[in-house]
Amino acid sequence: MPSDRGPGALTLSRRAALGQLVAAAGVATFGAGVGRAQSAAAPIGDASRLVDLGMELDPQQRAAGVAFVDGHATLDTHCHPGRFFLKDLPYQTPTTRAFGEPFEDRAVAELGAGRVSGVLIAAVADMRLLEMTATGGLHAAGEFPPGAAYADYRRQLAELKSLVAHHALAKGLNPSDIDSAHRQHFTSAVFAVEGVDFIEDRFDRVQQAFRDGVRAITVVHYHVNQIGDIQTEAPVHGGLTPLGRSIIGEMNRAGILVDLAHATFAVTKDVIEVSTKPVMISHTNLSTPTASHPRLISTEHAKLVAAAGGIIGSWPSGIGQSTFSDYIDSIQRLVDAVGVDHTAIGTDMDANYRPVLRSYLDWSLIPAALLARGMHHAEVAKIMGGNFQRVFQASLSRTPR
């Protein structure tokens, strides 16, 4: 957090940032099949930025959503604001070119204007390996040259630190930082990494990552790495590898939260058997009779995570969802399956697939819709941040679950 900026100065800077957004002509969103310009001139909560709201929210209900995020610390368990991971690339691939130019300034301004208290900002460990598939998904092609994974981690970490040093973002090293950021009208940046590839077989890099400020690692992404199998490729390891078991143990000891997004059911089961701390799946949804995809999980999969004290972040992607209302249905489906104490919000903002929520300017629509559907304030508070805060604290604790 910049030492020369108090709460009043930040409030002013956020208003100025929002003014700049209003002056902007168009805001493009990346995603397969998504490229329609969206106007930043629309007021906060305006449904025109969404693919389709798909439900009615009157002005009073929308205002209740804004009041909610003003009164509660709210958090996104997985995002890539402004595609910061593209900054200062020492390489270019067809995929990095398809993502376009990074836009951190606008993304940070939208976080502030949307009143988001905290975000887990994820570096992409296997970025240089990713290729687009014919269906618009991602696939890791090839393997890392020696030292390349760690070098890319250092590059992206430097950009994460720059986001905090040069923007109106606060540090996010523990739950208290998030609560403090909320009180002072900041957004807290919790550093995360999507993929353990950079660790290789160097256990000391786990502790180093913690010292770097990393507080969560998604153990696998699109590259079948040294930990285990991924949802979108045929199994190679049959679950968690012996090296993977050791890395999970190091993450537990270091205080780094284990994220099992992209991991197979077998990997999830093995991790939960060895982890001494609750885990999370930062961004996914439940499969349904009409929506099945490798990136979605079964009710059994979700209940396994919940039974170990963990959380699942509901994901506003275009997989099985075409409207914002569909997304609210997905959140409620998770609550029905695993309980309100194990449900969270994980948007994958700025690198999502056909998103049905495209901007943090619309963040308050989530609590607005949940409240409008009949949820109590206390329940919504758990989903919007409280559940993550509990798991975050547990990951830092020396007491196992």
CA distances (Å), origin 42, targets 21, 29, 361, 364: 9, 16, 9, 14
Does the residue 1 lie in any domain?
no
The domain that holds 327 is classified in CATH as 3.20.20.140
DSSP E strand stretches across 99-224: 118-124, 130-132, 138-140, 169-171, 187-194, 214-218
Least confident piece of the model among 13-27, 31-45, 371-385:
31-45
In total, how many domains does the chain have? 1
pLDDT the model gives residue 16: 44
Amino acid at 50: L
Domain around 238: 7-396
State the burial class of residue 341 (Cβ atoms within 10 Å of its Cβ: 0-12, 13-18, 19+). Answer: middle
CA distances (Å), origin 12, targets 44, 98, 272, 363: 17, 35, 45, 20
Report residue 134's pLDDT band, with 50, 70 and 90 as the boundaries: confident
Report residue 90's pLDDT band, with 50, 70 and 90 as the boundaries: very high
Q: Could you report the per-residue pLDDT of 151-197, keeping only the tens digit for each? A: 999 999 999 999 999 877 999 999 999 999 999 999 999 999 999 99
Report residue 34's pLDDT band, with 50, 70 and 90 as the boundaries: very low
Report residue 137's pLDDT band, with 50, 70 and 90 as the boundaries: confident
Does the residue 401 lie in any domain?
no
Does the residue 349 lie in any domain?
yes
Does the residue 53 lie in any domain?
yes
Does the residue 357 lie in any domain?
yes
Output 9 or 174, whichever has higher pLDDT: 174
